[in-house]
Structure 1
């Protein structure tokens, strides 16, 4: 999945959670934390891969062997500071990233590329990129089409929710 789409998925998942649990859209700070959590696996792995430290762009940050202890640690710190909502937001964002990297490999039958889930215990081959899903009216449908729909939905909901995070960023930049 493209990195920017993970941000939309993290927001969509956290927004669904807040509507289900509290009946309201996400608050500013937890929304930012969820989006940051959704970005973090790529923020860790892509630079490490570019620097030649790890063999592929889905290793440490995408591995459940790293993700689960990190999510638990963040939640424990948030709970200790009486900010549980931030721990939940981070967990939803981070785990949504890892979870949404799985379906494309299942749909395309590239099961060996799921090695990132337990890296470094399991081997992670080079990522083969965009996956073909089929042909409709002579047009090849790929995972990018579905990602575009998800991105549009995430941005649309974020906009409808009042663009949480924009005001926070504005206050930090000015």
Structure 2
């Protein structure tokens, strides 16, 4: 298997942050707040935080089950949004929805582009089976250099872009973690 369960999840955090930061700029003209950025990143991490440990422990055969299933994701996102709305913190519900939603959305294109439609079973798991993920997908070749461009190349670009934007924004989302680590 050419799939690394520890590297690719980081790209989801970058995508979640990029999408939430762009939404925030479009909606308010400002960078994300500390808490909302952290919530968006946490939302983007949640599917893998749920699924990867049970896969690595050998409890399931694949790394995309409950956390990646729309049957779980939609009710969870709706519940978080409703609670945030009741508490007058709609921005946090939106941040979570964008983070979680981008994680699921970014797991789809590789299977569609490669024609591995059967690997989309995670979307309705456990109603549909989720076969083993076949790994990195080829996107094309650079004939002059005899190089095959894979999904990992695009993911590397996305990761660098996400880190660059997060840095340019002043690393929002880190302050609550630093305060908690200091016991404040």
Normalising by the residue count of structure 2, what TM-score does the alignment of the two structures yield? 0.92
Q: Which residue of 2 aligns with 1:166?
A: 174
For residue 66 of structure 2, give the secondary structure of its aligned residue in structure 1.
Answer: coil
Q: Are residues 1:138 and 2:146 paired?
A: yes
Q: How many residues align?
A: 174
What secondary structure is seen at the aligned counterpart in 1 of 2:141? strand
Shift of 1:33: 0.2
Q: CA deviation at 1:60?
A: 0.3
Runs (5+) with no aligned partner, structure 1:
none
Q: CA RMSD in A?
A: 1.0
Map 1:95-174 onto structure 2 (within 5 A): 95-136=101-142, 137-174=145-182
In the TM superposition, residue 45 of structure 1 has moved relative to its aligned partner by: 0.3
C-alpha distance in structure 2 between counterparts of 1:98 and 1:117, whole Å:
8
2:58 pairs with 1:41: no
Hey, what does 2:4 align to over in structure 1?
Answer: none
Query: CA–CA distance in 2 between the matches of 1:17 and 1:54?
Result: 35
The corresponding residue for 2:88 is: 82
Q: Contact 2:34/2:176 (CA < 8 Å) preserved in 1?
A: yes
Name the TM-score, length of structure 1 as normaliser: 0.97
Over residues 49-83 of structure 1, what are the superposed CA-to-partner deviations in whole Å (9 max), with x where a residue is unaligned?
Answer: 12222221001000001000000001111111111
Aligned to 1:94: 100
**Mapped partners of 1:102, 1:126: distance in 2:** 15
* Structure 1 range deviating more: 53-62 or 5-14: 53-62
Report the 3-state secondary structure (helix = DSSP H, G, I; strand = E; otherwise coil) of the residue aligned with 1:42: helix
Distance in 1 (CA, whole Å) between partners of 2:60 and 2:40 is 26
CA offset at residue 43 of structure 1? 0.2
Partner residue in 2 for 1:50 = 56
